[in-house]
Amino acid sequence: MENGNNKEYFPIIGYGEKMIEAVKKNFGGNGPTYPRSYNEARIRVKKQVENLKKEIQEIPEEKRMKEIVVTLRLHEKFLAKTYTPNTLFKETRFENIGSRRWKFYRGDEEKYSKMHFVKVDIDSLTNFENILESNEHALSDSLKNDIRKLEDISILKKNEVIQGFEEEWEEGTVEFVLHPFGDENDDMIRKFKNILNKFGIEDKNLKIKTYSGGPTFISAYVNKQVVKEVADFNPLRTVHPLKVNFFPGLRNSDIEPVLLTPPRGNSVSQIKVGIFDGGIDTTHPFLNKFAKENKSVQSTPVQEGINHGTAVAGVVLYGDLNQYEANTQLEDPIVFVESFRVLPQSDPTDLDLYEAIDFIEEVVPTRNDINVYNLSFGPIGPILDDEISRFTFSLDQLAWNFRKLFVVAVGNDGDKPSPLNRIQAPADLVNGLGVGAYTFDYRTGEKIRASYSCVGEGREGCKVKPDVCAFGGDSRFPIHLLSTDHSKKWLAQGTSFAAPIIASKAAEILGRCNQFSPLVARALIIHAAQNPNKVDNLIGYGIVDKTVDDILKCEKNSVTIIYSSSLNPSSMAKLPIPLPVSIQLSGEVELSWTIATLSKANALHVEDYTESAIEDTFYPHSKKYKFTKDLSSGKKIRTLHIEENQQEIEELLNDGWTQSLLPASSPTEKYQTEQARRSDLKWDTVVKRWTRKRANSLYRPFLVLHGLGRNGSADRIDYAVVVTISVPKYQGNLYEAILNEYKVLEPIHIRNRNEIMIPIR
């Protein structure tokens, strides 16, 4: 195939979903041993319930509801969602309203498990005591085993409610998170406001947002005394500080002449990128035909905000201005900017961003023409594992409900000591991209993480953060930006300017490939990232410095295939990897794949924040199966070719051996604890894998995807898979061989500039 320059160009291959097949698989493994007998557990828990009832009696009426929220903490062996004590909840009439991680120490060793928040009343506690007094033989094994899982049942301690405050903190804006109380929610909020009123905090100074079936978020400006006094309000789940650096990245930056000529403006792109920021200079000659200012929050724009928004918009349209030679006239940009001014807020003393979040929640559902949004601002301070900020939860909900891609800067505190250098909300979202910044090593020219770029890890559901990095510059190698002085440009640094580079690429991918979704664009961006360590907490999956043309192309012997589909929780799908059998391959075959999913988020279950995910297993050879036989001394395992070893297989089967339902996987599957699975990113919405195999060890390889659901989720799981097959030493044309053998696959139609740009008359 040829492109417009008469050079060979092999478009990325699509329609991999046409090859997908349903599949079944056996799951093995034994459950854990219990830490104590039922009788030992019964005596232990009975004493804890007696103490709990005394604690409840001591709670003042103004700090409680009729039902009390208590914590039910599980032994660390029972972290998995499958070990949630649902039988106990049902038999005792305890209402499970959320969960989060529980960190504790056994001796000097740090451990972590899960705590469940449950609503109880005196009747349900009495019912529980009666169960504990019952004859053991009258109880189901399921109920007894649930009781054996318990470590503690008590009221959440104040120091577990108060999170993220530095020792020197005296006053400021905080976010309170309240448990859901259903029909009594309004009454709960009224009681909480009454307490704040006693400390002089008026209702008009409170920002309140309740999500249906979810938590209530309340922001207020308070001092240290108020935080301590309200921390024992029983329905309060947590309180944490909020600080905002509204316009990061332009202070102390240098200014130089721009020395570039604006585009002619003969045409405008149909591809749109939304930016939520401080507004733009609509008169700027580099913006006035290629960017639009839309409705905004009800506040007066400030120059600092327009400076920042103009710089961000310029990066979306043109990237780093330093890439262009002096006196160059720029091309009409291939994307168009839709700007929404959300900063500053109406009240400049409000540091909670609730007004901005409300505005974003209003805009996104109404703009069907925008699929990618950039956010280069947010609260200062590292994310907290045990709670989700409203900003993060809001973006994850919008991404799930409206299938949008949010691209968020991870923050500029990466050079602070740990844990203050950790990524900042809302870059911890699980359904979008958190973007860090890279620069250059001044000695070697090598691409490296910019020292200010915040680092991972992320939270459950997106442990790898940042997802990717783009150029953000530093003091030696600044990024060159549009300035509101039209004859000048800023020389600056920051993740604020790395994020829009990625947002622009993602939007261009969608605009040039009509059949791609924002989920496919997200998977392609991550797949294109390069990290010498494969993946780490510094630059995530790596640096993205490829053009969109490079991301969307294959080489003769390095071919990329896209699969886009969905599955139900617990169902499975087989994705054939189209390695041709009609050609002779030798040497090594390199395979890599990236899986991205959309997951409903649950802010009540922070430790189980993603309600769905996909577990992948690789099968390199479709004719090699495992055969096993259980012996008193252990299990014997053989891997045999079902055609070449047919006679031997018959003998084994006659001798009581069992053949696996699917071929032998690579690596061998083993039973894992939930903690080990989490370290393997089981519940993350992104999976990226690499393997290298001898060509003769591969025959019709495939992936099996297993849909995972929790918290009762039955929602279909949308996924996008990007697979690259590379055979560096093959002398033929692998690209053509794949298309010849797998007729359902087709090259993606990639629209050129003429198909995207609309002439301006």
Residue-number span of the structural domain to which 23 is assigned: 10-28+556-747
In angstroms, the CA 41 to CA 46 distance is 8
Beta 612-619 vs 702-709: how paired, if at all?
antiparallel
Percentage of the chain exceeding pLDDT 70:
95
Q: How confident is the model at residue 78, as a pLDDT?
A: 86
Confidence grade of residue 630 (pLDDT, cut at 50, 70, 90): confident
In 108-170, the DSSP E strands lie at: 109-120, 150-154
**Are residues 337 and 440 located together in one domain of the fold?**
yes
The dihedrals phi and psi of 453, each to the nearest 5 degrees, come to: -70, 120
**Are residues 104 and 181 located together in one domain of the fold?**
no
In the numeric block, which tokens belong to residue 546? 């490829």
For the stretch 644-690, pLDDT in tens is 999 999 999 999 999 999 999 986 333 344 444 445 567 899 999 99
Last residue of a domain, one of 160, 190, 211: 160
What domain count does the chain have?
Answer: 4
**Are residues 576 and 629 located together in one domain of the fold?**
yes
More confident residue, 43 or 8: 43
**Are residues 14 and 69 located together in one domain of the fold?**
no
Q: How confident is the model at residue 760, as a pLDDT?
A: 87
Q: How confident is the model at residue 5, as a pLDDT?
A: 47
pLDDT at residue 349 above 80?
no
**Are residues 516 and 547 located together in one domain of the fold?**
yes
Helix (H, G, I), strand (E, B) or coil at 495: helix
Helix (H, G, I), strand (E, B) or coil at 723: strand
Q: Is 207 among the domain residues?
A: yes
**Are residues 464 and 541 located together in one domain of the fold?**
yes
**Are residues 217 and 297 located together in one domain of the fold?**
no
Q: Is 630 among the domain residues?
A: yes
**Are residues 593 and 726 located together in one domain of the fold?**
yes
Q: Is 536 among the domain residues?
A: yes
- For the chain, give the longest Cα–Cα distance: 89
**Are residues 204 and 341 located together in one domain of the fold?**
no
More confident residue, 317 or 351: 317
Q: How confident is the model at residue 2, as a pLDDT?
A: 47
More confident residue, 294 or 349: 294
For the stretch 398-444, pLDDT in tens is 999 999 999 999 999 999 999 999 999 999 999 999 999 999 999 99
Nearest C-alpha neighbor of 436 from the set 511, 358, 536, 524 = 536
In angstroms, the CA 711 to CA 709 distance is 7
Nearest C-alpha neighbor of 474 from the set 275, 322, 247, 307 = 322
Q: Is 760 among the domain residues?
A: no
In angstroms, the CA 685 to CA 226 distance is 38
The CATH number covering residue 222 comes to 3.30.70
For the stretch 570-597, pLDDT in tens is 899 999 999 999 999 988 999 999 999 9
CB half-sphere exposure, 696, CA atoms < 13 A: 2
Q: Is 334 among the domain residues?
A: yes
Task: List C-alpha distances in Å: 174 to 162, 210, 220, 525, 731.
Answer: 10, 16, 6, 35, 63
Q: How confident is the model at residue 498, as a pLDDT?
A: 98
Q: How confident is the model at residue 477, as a pLDDT?
A: 97
Q: Is 737 among the domain residues?
A: yes
Beta 447-449 vs 405-409: how paired, if at all?
unpaired
The CATH number covering residue 314 comes to 3.40.50.200
**Are residues 259 and 300 located together in one domain of the fold?**
yes
Q: How confident is the model at residue 71, as a pLDDT?
A: 96
In angstroms, the CA 360 to CA 354 distance is 10
For the stretch 707-754, pLDDT in tens is 988 767 788 899 999 999 999 999 999 999 999 999 999 999 999 999
Confidence grade of residue 101 (pLDDT, cut at 50, 70, 90): confident
Q: Are 281 and 287 in contact (CB under 8 A)?
A: yes
Confidence grade of residue 536 (pLDDT, cut at 50, 70, 90): very high
For the stretch 465-491, pLDDT in tens is 999 999 999 999 999 999 999 999 999
Mean confidence (pLDDT) of the chain: 92
Q: How confident is the model at residue 716, as a pLDDT?
A: 87
Average pLDDT over residues 679-702: 88
Q: How confident is the model at residue 681, as a pLDDT?
A: 62
Q: Are 202 and 235 in contact (CB under 8 A)?
A: no
More confident residue, 689 or 246: 689
In angstroms, the CA 673 to CA 668 distance is 16
In the numeric block, which tokens belong to residue 25? 């698989």
**Are residues 336 and 453 located together in one domain of the fold?**
yes
Confidence grade of residue 248 (pLDDT, cut at 50, 70, 90): confident
Q: How confident is the model at residue 496, as a pLDDT?
A: 97
Q: How confident is the model at residue 149, as a pLDDT?
A: 94
Q: Is 247 among the domain residues?
A: no
Average pLDDT over residues 2-7: 49
Helix (H, G, I), strand (E, B) or coil at 267: strand
Q: How confident is the model at residue 403, as a pLDDT?
A: 97
For the stretch 29-73, pLDDT in tens is 566 789 999 999 999 999 999 999 999 999 999 999 999 999 999
Give 352's DSSP letter. S
Nearest C-alpha neighbor of 367 from the set 272, 509, 500 = 272
Q: How confident is the model at residue 27, as a pLDDT?
A: 59
For the stretch 184-242, pLDDT in tens is 999 999 999 999 999 999 999 999 999 988 999 999 999 999 999 999 999 999 999 98
Q: Is 723 among the domain residues?
A: yes
Q: Are 641 and 710 in contact (CB under 8 A)?
A: no
Total-model pTM = 0.92
Task: List C-alpha distances in Å: 499 to 142, 157, 462, 472, 711.
Answer: 50, 39, 17, 8, 32
Cα four-point dihedral sign 250, 252, 253, 256: positive
Confidence grade of residue 517 (pLDDT, cut at 50, 70, 90): very high
For the stretch 150-184, pLDDT in tens is 999 999 999 999 999 988 999 999 999 999 999 99
Q: Are 727 and 593 in contact (CB under 8 A)?
A: no
**Are residues 385 and 263 located together in one domain of the fold?**
yes
pLDDT at residue 245 above 80?
no
Last residue of a domain, one of 107, 138, 160: 160
Cβ count within 10 A of residue 647: 8
C-alpha triplet 560, 563, 566: angle, nearest 5°: 160
Last residue of a domain, one of 529, 551, 573: 551
